[in-house]
Every structure is written in C-alpha cells, then in structure tokens.
Amino acid sequence: MESVNIKKLAQLLNLSIATVSKALRDSYDISKETKEKVVALAKELNYQPNPHASSLRKHKSKTIAVIIPEIANNYFTLAINGIETVAQEKGYHVLIYITHEDYQKEVSLAKDLYNGRVDGLLISVSGATTDYTHLQQLQQMGLPIVFFDRVCEEFDTLKVTTDDYESSYLATQHLIEQGCKKVAHLAISGNLSIGNKRKRGYLQALADHQMPVSESLIVECTNDDEIDGELIREMFIREKPDGIFAAVERYAMASYEVCGLLNLQIPRDVKVISFSNLRIAAFLNPSLSTITQPAFDIGKEAASRLLNTLEKKNAPLTNENIIFKSSLIQRTSTAK
Amino acid sequence: MESVNIKKLAQLLNLSIATVSKALRDSYDISKETKEKVVALAKELNYQPNPHASSLRKHKSKTIAVIIPEIANNYFTLAINGIETVAQEKGYHVLIYITHEDYQKEVSLAKDLYNGRVDGLLISVSGATTDYTHLQQLQQMGLPIVFFDRVCEEFDTLKVTTDDYESSYLATQHLIEQGCKKVAHLAISGNLSIGNKRKRGYLQALADHQMPVSESLIVECTNDDEIDGELIREMFIREKPDGIFAAVERYAMASYEVCGLLNLQIPRDVKVISFSNLRIAAFLNPSLSTITQPAFDIGKEAASRLLNTLEKKNAPLTNENIIFKSSLIQRTSTAK
DNA sequence: ATGAAAGCGCTAACAC
DNA sequence: GTGTTAGCGCTTTCAT
C-alpha cells in the first residue's frame, strides 16, 4: 500500500506538515486560500490519512467490535445490518467476531481488544459463558460495552433486549388458548438470561392456566442440530405434547422435522410457535406462528447508544435496560 | 483504554524497550532467562501490543475488509462465516462493510481503504457497479483483492465463483424435463457477470430444447421487493408461464407470493426453481427446488487464498477463476 | 546479549 | 497564519 501521505502533500505545496494537517481538519487558523489549495491537492492525489497513525496519536480508532455467538441466524444477521447502518452513518468501522458459542474463543477475542484496537464493543454473549471477567477487564480498562440480546444481567452497563419473559408468556398462553393441553418447551442451553426468561415466561403461563408443569416437558437443547433432533424426538415419543414453544427458530425447524418423521400433523396434532426472525416464516409448511423481535432496530439502537457515548454526546453508558417489544404473529402452525 | 505498554514492562524489568520488544517476538539474540521474565510479566499484566503502533510501524494491519452488497441473504451470511473462520484461525481481523447495492457507497467505502487500513480485500460487487476504477486504484496501490460470487471479469485478480452458467442451464432444463412449456426467468438487475451467466444458461437451455424464447419472459428485477412483486405479477398475467427460474431466492419468494395472489398452485400450475442457500428450503410450502451454492466453502477459499498471499506463502494473486460446483436439489416445487 | 536511537504518519501544544 | 517540535507505541538497525 504505497500511498500519499501528509508529508508529500506538504512538500508539493511548500507548506509545513502541521499546516497541511490543520488545513485538512479545517482548523480556524488557516487561511481560506491555503485550505483550498491543500484540499484540492489532497483530492487530486486521493489522499487518505493513515488510520493507524491517527489512531495511535489520538487514542481513538473510529472502530467498534461486534462479538456474536453465531451468524447463520436471522436475528444476528438483521442486528448486524442495523449496527452497520449506524456505524456507516457516523463514519465508524465494524470489526466482526464470531464465537461459535465457544467460551474460550470469546475470551481470546476479548483479549484482542485489550489495547485500543476498538473504541467500543457490542456483544451478545455465547451460551457457554458463565464467567465474565474477560469482559469486566475490558470495561475496567475503559472500553465502553453494550450488550444486546444475550446480555449479562449483573454487568453494569447498557443492555438492549426484548421483552422475552412477556412474549414467552404470551406465546405459551396463545398455545393454551388454541386448545393445547400439554405444552412442551424447547429451551436454550446454558444459563443465558434470555433462556431463563423465556423458560420462566413459559412456566408462569402454564401455572396461571392450571396446566401440567413438568421438567420432562422441557428439552434443554444444545448447539448441535443432530443431538437436538434426537432429544426432541425422544420427548415427543415420551410426552406426546400437543403444543410446542420453541425458544429459537432452529428448534422449531427441528420440530417440523420430527413431526414429519413421527407422522404428526401441524397444527392438527401439534401446534408450534417459536421465536424467529425468518422473513419467510409465512411460506413454511405450515406457515409458522412466531414471536418476532425487531432485530434490525435492536442493532441500530445498541450501536447508536454506543457511538453517542463514544462521541461524548451523551452521558456515559448507564446501567439501563432498553427493552424492545416483540410481536406475536399468528399463522397456521397454531391454528385451531 | 489505559493499558500496559512495552515501556512499562521495560521499566518494571529494568530492561530497555528494545529488549522487551525482541523478547516478546522471541528473537534469537535474547537470553532464555530474559525472555521468560518478560513473557511472565507480560502475561501477568495482560499486556497486549498496541495494534495501531505496530500496524503503523510494520505497514501491516492483520486486518482484511469484506465488502458485500447485502447481508440479509443466506449466501452472504454463510460466506462471511467461512471468511471469519479462516481469519480467526490465522489471527486476522475482519472489517465488514455493506453497500446495500449502492455504487456510491461502494466507492466511498473503497476510499476508506486507501491508506493501509487493511492488508487485503474480499469483495462481492454491488449490482449497480459498472465502473471499477475505485477498485483498480486500490489494486494499483498494492492492495490484494479477491472477488467472490459477484465478480468483475475484466479485473486481473483471483475470483471465486460457482458454475452459474452450467447450473442455470441445468435448472432450466430440469423445468423443461418436468414438463414446462413456457419457462420464465427472474433475472438479477444490472449487468453483473453472475446475472449474465445465469441468463445465458437459461437462454441456451431454452434454445437447445426448442422452447419459446422471448424477452418478455425475462423479468429484470430490482432491489425493491414491492416493485419486483409487481413486475413479476404483470409477467404472470401477461405470459402465463408454467415454469419459473429465479436467479436469487428473494425472487422465488416473490413468485410464491404472486402465485398465492393469482390462485396458482405450485407445482401444478407453475413449477419454480431458484438459486438459494436457505437451509429451510425443504420446509417451504411447497418445498422449494434449489440450486445451492457452497457458500461457506467459497468464503473459506476466498479468504484462504487472500491470507496465503498476505503471508507470502503463495505467489501473488493470479488472474485465476476458482469455480465451485453448485448442486441442484429437487423438491416439490418442480414435481410433475 | 542488551541498549540507543530513528522513524512509521499523524496531531497538538506552543512558538513566531 | 504558519512552522517547529514532541511524542503516540512499536520495530529494527546498528552500536556496544
């Protein structure tokens, strides 16, 4: 990458490096003519300041990191889209890191951010994460962190989530209202707060409607599609549920598969509802009732807040919890 | 971001900065004992070298940029996954940029890479891009570029694609074999090479099978779902096709929608096949026959080649074209 | 085996 | 209004 630098501009214009630098930053104490000359030449030579030099000097990189557990998932895809939109608007760069639900990877990725590589971090933690010291260290070093979706409750910072408890309650209630007598839950593995909230919403709805509650109706899924399929199949055979509330889209698809294998018809024999951001849920066979999170907006909001803090336009990140509303969209999979 | 730097380590150890630096890089002319002391303290204090300083000094950032036209698309999501996997393995960082099919954005994003921000670029060009000077400039400045999927044929560098012409031919032929007499094509807008290849495959298959060929059977889609829906609807009414070959997933979904509106049954009245990387194509109603690209592997290959070049393990990027094979998966939407 | 010093390209305090 | 200079944290040549 051979390219023009500020020194070359200065030489060509017979000016000092400082003057050129100031002219480019539109400083008040540079004459209009000089500024114009400088800007003109910079444009002509396609001058771009060296980002490493200026990051080093200013202790600001105009870059944020996004750490997510997976990407083959519509929620995160949409969230990234929202994040990238805001970042581009404000002239920030976005580094992306995927943990594949691996705690060790999350730790080592966090280490990479220890020394000013980025100005801020947006993270949705891995399901395997129970210890947050890697993130706490980052925060102590002064790195602003915003959690989204998969948050760490105990962490003192901004968190952007959806109303997981409430929508899980409503989803479960919806199944009951549609006539289900035995509702199973396909739960997220690990002890993610999001997983707990969804499970609690489910349990509370069952309790409030005098429905059978049993641990054996809850399948703690993994990150492996095959294992999950097997666990779900076993539960179907063992419990013969007539309603399924899936905590994530992937488990709903696994249920569709299992129903196919067991010759169960949705929604006649089993009704299914799931958290999902699939745009084509309506085209599934049968079309899938979903709880849809405003993922794009969540990404936008998380990024906006972070960038505002970085630009000091706002107070530092408070221990606030911004909660977006999900929407329950009823489709054929829960029809009476 | 207050943190430990090499100077502090040197002070604490009563060594010179140079020695510490060398010890950390495991240089041959540092004694074992010194190395061990340095490494131990570095670990203890969680020392991480400042990436901007070393990038500035070494003219290497260990970072690559990925520019894609959109992300709410399974192909690109999978490709990023492949790219990120390779990058993480080799200790590289991945900056992500989305053009939203906007040429101006692509140009301005390219400008951001003019001055060493990244060591290499992976790009899938926007559909609106017809002029490649912004990329040529980057290449002239010495930035290695690898194209994937949406490539620029005339560009002298490595390109990773799929057998678009062949699979389009096969997809069209498949429709004909399934009994279609009038096959329409939902084509990608603009003059992307990928769009042309898919269209040429379609046209050749029609010609080889003595099928009606007409410009009015080809819908040049846009990037706007609503407009596309309208264009497709008009074509359906005007031409009454009994076969649809969609160049991208989004257009297939639009067709499903239009068929619903016009009370046409798939596959009885119209058969549909589409390029798609949707994992749940099998669960659509009806399940969608697809041409599926090995997107993850394409991302991996593109990234591997780029990183190998950066690490000088390979010769520089040649004007090669690596072609992956797509697979045609027959499902209900093209059943007889 | 260790250290001194220059310099990557830029910014900002301070002089003139 | 413009220039001089120091220094961000690191690597690397050259001396010792």
B123 or B154: whose pLDDT is higher? Answer: B123
Is residue A254, in this structure, part of any structural domain at all? yes
- The answer to whether residue A253 sits within a structural domain is yes
Number of domains in chain A: 3
**CATH number, position A235:** 3.40.50.2300
Angstroms from B53 CA to nearest CA on chain A: 6
Residue B164's pLDDT is: 97
A114 with A215, same domain?
Answer: no
Q: Is B13 domain-assigned?
A: yes
Q: Which residue(s) pair with B252 in the sheet? A: none
pLDDT in tens, A210-248: 998 999 999 999 888 899 999 999 999 999 999 999 999
What 3-state class would DSSP assign to A93? Answer: strand
Nearest to B321 by CA among B86, B157, B166: B157
Q: Inter-chain contact A77–B81, Cβ cutoff 8 Å?
A: no
Residue B315 has pLDDT above 80, yes or no: no
Query: Residue A63 belongs to what H/E stretch?
Result: strand A63-68
336 residues of chain A, pLDDT tens digit each: 557 899 888 888 888 888 888 888 877 878 888 888 888 889 999 899 999 999 999 999 999 999 999 998 889 999 999 999 999 999 999 999 999 999 999 999 999 999 999 999 999 999 888 899 999 999 999 999 999 999 998 899 999 999 999 999 999 999 999 999 999 999 998 778 999 999 999 999 999 999 989 999 999 998 888 999 999 999 999 999 999 999 999 999 999 999 999 999 999 999 999 999 988 899 998 999 999 999 999 999 999 999 999 998 767 888 999 999 999 999 999 999
How far is residue A280 from each of residues A277, B117, B215, B276, B280, measured CA to CA in Å? Answer: 9, 38, 30, 13, 10
| Domain membership of residue A10 as a residue range | 6-49
**Same domain flag for A269 and A180:** yes
In the predicted model, what is the mean pLDDT of chain B? 94
pLDDT of residue B177: 97
B183 with B247, same domain: the answer is yes
Q: Which residues of B276-303 are buried (b: 16+ CB within 10 A; e: fewer)?
A: bbbebbbbbbbbbbbbbbbbbebbbbbb
A59 touches strand C (CB under 7 A): no
Residue B1 has pLDDT above 60, yes or no: no
- Number of Cβ within 10 Å of residue A226's Cβ equals 9
> Are B91 and B146 members of one domain?
yes
Q: How does pLDDT run across B193-228, given as a tens digit for each residue?
A: 899 999 999 999 999 999 989 999 999 998 888 999
Domain check: are B178 and B259 in the same one?
A: yes
Asked if A9 and A20 count as a contact pair (C-beta separation under 8 A), the reply is yes
Alpha-carbon gap, residue B96 to B38, rounded angstroms: 35
Strand D: protein residues, Cβ closer than 7 A? A 14-19, 22, 27, 29-31, 33-34, 53, 56-57, 59, 115; B 5-7, 17-18, 21-22, 24-25, 49-50, 53-54, 56-58
Q: What is the C-alpha separation between A184 and A247, in angstroms, rounded? A: 11
Nucleotide nearest to A50 (CA to C1'): C9
Amino acid, res. A230 = E
Pairs across A and B, CB distance < 8 A? 152
For residue B291, what are its two tokens? 């041409």
Instruction: Classify A48 in phi/psi space as left (phi over 0), alpha (psi -120 to 50) or beta.
Output: beta
pLDDT value at residue A73:
85
Among B187, B132, B196, smallest CA distance to B161 is for: B196
Residue A54 lies in a domain: no
Same domain, A33 and A67: no
- Comparison of pLDDT for B182 and B34, the residue scoring more: B182
Buried b / exposed e over A158-168, threshold 16 CB at 10 Å, is bbbbbbbbbbb
A249 falls within a domain: yes
- Tell me if B143 and A1 make a contact (CB, 8 A cut-off): yes
Give the predicted TM-score (pTM) of the model.
0.95
Q: For the stretch B70-82, what's the b/e string if a residue is b when 16 or more beta carbons lie within 10 angstroms of its beta carbon?
A: bbbbbbbbbbbbb
Same domain, A77 and A180: no
